[in-house]
Amino acid sequence: MPATKNRVVITGLGVLTPVGATVDAYWNALLIGQSGAARITRFDTTGHSVTFAAEVKNFDPGQYMDPKEAKRMDLFSQYAVAAAKGAVQDCGIDFSKEDRFRCGAIIASGIGGLTEMQEQDKKCNEKGPGRISPSPTASAAPTGASLRPAPPPTTRWAPLSARSSTGTPTSCSPAAARRR
């Protein structure tokens, strides 16, 4: 009896990077060697020896999600939602015509929401521990991004978060095969 092989199909790609917010823009920037590094804009760099970084530029979370929901998310989770929506759009799938138990997603993150952790630390130092929000644990954890992208209502959503940073493809493909 032949062994059954699990197969993983990547149907769509989504990116949100310092050099492009679509797969085509990102790929073209890579081909020409375009750098996404520029002067840091997200915080005051006075006193820092490094003043440049590869930040995502001109990101408007309202293009991808309800602004009220975005306020409850760390920036890295907002990025995950944007990339996930790009992947769904890229695949062109009509979820209403698919077996909802055969569709899913894996979101990988090497680290969680540092922005949220920093904001809560600052709030604790300035206003006391009683002013810390109870929600940062979920929004700042590396697994927090996998809980945020809202799937179509017809899709079974069993979020899986791989935490491996540079080893993400190696972690995600076998994980997808096991969840099949």
In a domain, 66, yes or no: yes
Confidence of residue 3 (pLDDT cuts 50, 70, 90): low
Name beta bridge partners: 106: 160
In a domain, 96, yes or no: yes
In a domain, 44, yes or no: no
* pLDDT of 81 above 50: yes
In a domain, 144, yes or no: yes
Q: Which amino acid is at 141?
A: A
Three-state SS string over 12-40 comes to CCCCCECCECCHHHHHHHHHCCCCCCEEC
In a domain, 147, yes or no: yes
Q: Is 114:141 a contact under the CB 8 Å cutoff?
A: no
In a domain, 104, yes or no: yes
For the ranges 97-106, 111-120, 169-178, which has the lowest average pLDDT? Answer: 169-178
* pLDDT of 64 above 50: yes
For the ranges 104-108, 113-117, 148-152, which has the lowest average pLDDT? Answer: 148-152
- Domain extent, residue 155, equals 59-171
Q: Is 136:67 a contact under the CB 8 Å cutoff?
A: no
Q: State the CATH number of the domain containing residue 145.
A: 3.40.47.10
Q: Is 4:176 a contact under the CB 8 Å cutoff?
A: no
In the chain, the N- to C-terminal Cα span, in Å, equals: 21
What whole-number distance in Å separates Cα of residue 106 and Cα of residue 108? 6
Instruction: Look at the chain and report how many structural domains it folds into.
Output: 1
* pLDDT of 125 above 60: yes
Confidence of residue 154 (pLDDT cuts 50, 70, 90): very low
What integer pLDDT is reported at residue 143 of this predicted model?
A: 61
In a domain, 42, yes or no: no
Helix axis angle, 114-127 to 75-91, nearest 10°: 160
With pLDDT > 90 as the criterion, what percentage of the chain qualifies? Answer: 27
Mean model confidence pLDDT for the chain: 78
Q: Is 11:93 a contact under the CB 8 Å cutoff?
A: yes
What whole-number distance in Å separates Cα of residue 54 and Cα of residue 15? 14
What integer pLDDT is reported at residue 173 of this predicted model?
A: 60
In a domain, 116, yes or no: yes
> What does 60-126 look like in DSSP terms, one character per residue?
-GGGTS-HHHHHTS-HHHHHHHHHHHHHHHHHT--GGGS-GGG---EEE-SS--HHHHHHHHHHHHH
